[in-house]
Amino acid sequence: MTEFVIVTGLSGAGRSQAGAAFEDLGWFVVDNLPTALILNFAALATAPGSGRERVALVVGRDIEQLGELVPAVAELRRQGIQVDTIFLDATDEVLVRRFEGTRRRHPLGREKILEAIALERERLAPIRATADLVIDTSELNVHQLRERLIQLFLGRDSEAMQVSVVSFGFKHGLPPDVDNVFDVRFLPNPHWVPELKELTGLDAPVRDYVLEAPQATEFLARLDELMSFLLPCYVQEGKSYLNVAIGCTGGRHRSVVLAEDLAGRFRRQGFGAAVFHRDLAR
């Protein structure tokens, strides 16, 4: 069976870079496919002998046509074709900076870039609301977006729900594209231990320090019980992707340790799990 991923989102949020990442993964990528041709192309790609097992369609440059995307996806699924939609988003400030850096004109052609972004957000709101996966690229460079997509899709079991676990620091703000947030600032902080301060949660001494705390043991046990209940419920509701965030103060120690541990627990339950440490380098 041919597997489809449709990549769309705001202009300047990284659609072309996402398409390149899928090419690196060996997917057959079609960039700038008119939305009106999705069903015709799918019929060709799924025909016997086509040889296309995994196809990524990057759509969105013709904003006027994007209203046809939601019904097209619904029709593909009605035909029994597996299709996931990825919506790439970013803050207005970041989008303005990216357009100014490339000196490109916004596809809507408005002279005021913020006005064009606001109008595009309004038009794409129904697509974002129905997307299987929303990725905010505001704090991701090209390489980080590529890494995130590769971790999510490399060797994945297309039938299993994919889980992303992100560690972050509350002082840098909440991640904008997560489903569940857990605060681990109640755990002893390695930042105040001189020999651990400059290390991160990826280093064994910090990991041992965090996990040896009785509070960490009990928290993980209770979280394990909660997620063991929630994950099958999400699957039953047809959710393909789940984003879980673990936060501490700075995002370099406790949250990193707990995110790595939680991802391991998800994998042992048979779910694909990718880990991202947003603030590790801050």
- Classify residue 85 as left (phi > 0), alpha (psi -120 to 50) or beta: beta
Report the DSSP beta bridge partners of residue 162. 241, 272
Residue 270 shares a structural domain with residue 173: yes
pLDDT mean over 246-253: 98
Residue 48 shares a structural domain with residue 130: yes
**pLDDT bucket at 68, cuts 50 / 70 / 90:** confident
Look at residues 153, 181, 210 and tell me which one is the last residue of a structural domain: 153
pLDDT score of 157 more than 80:
no
Long-range contacts of 267-272 (CB under 8 A, 24+ apart): 269/228, 269/231, 270/160, 271/160, 271/161, 271/162, 271/163, 271/231, 272/152, 272/156, 272/157, 272/160, 272/161, 272/162, 272/163
| Residue at 81 is within a domain | yes
pLDDT digits (tens, 9 = 90+) for 110-135: 668 888 899 999 999 999 999 999 99
pLDDT mean over 49-54: 87
pLDDT digits (tens, 9 = 90+) for 11-40: 999 999 999 999 999 999 999 888 989 999
pLDDT digits (tens, 9 = 90+) for 184-193: 999 999 999 9
pLDDT score of 62 more than 80:
no
Segment (H or E) for 90:
none
Predicted pLDDT of residue 65: 77
Say which CATH number the domain at 120 has: 3.40.50.300
| Residue at 282 is within a domain | no
3-state secondary structure string across 38-72: HHHHHHHHCCCCCCCCEEEEECCCCHHHHHHHHHH
Look at residues 100, 134, 153 and tell me which one is the last residue of a structural domain: 153
Question: Average per-residue pLDDT in the chain?
Answer: 91
Residue 145 shares a structural domain with residue 235: no
Query: One-letter amino acid identity for 266?
Result: F
pLDDT score of 1 more than 90:
no
Predicted pLDDT of residue 24: 92
Tell me which residue of 102, 108, 25, 20 sits closest to 62, measured CA to CA.
Answer: 108
Residue 113 shares a structural domain with residue 219: no
pTM value is: 0.85
pLDDT mean over 229-242: 90
Residue 213 shares a structural domain with residue 140: no
**Total domains in the fold of the chain:** 2
Q: Reduce the DSSP state of residue 203 to 3 states and report it.
A: coil
Predicted pLDDT of residue 233: 94
| Residue at 130 is within a domain | yes
Predicted pLDDT of residue 66: 81
Residue 101 shares a structural domain with residue 143: yes
| Residue at 254 is within a domain | yes
Q: How far apart are CA 5 and CA 33, in angstroms?
A: 13
**pLDDT bucket at 172, cuts 50 / 70 / 90:** very high
Residue 107 shares a structural domain with residue 196: no
Q: Which domain holds residue 77?
A: 3-153
**pLDDT bucket at 64, cuts 50 / 70 / 90:** confident
Residue 122 shares a structural domain with residue 74: yes
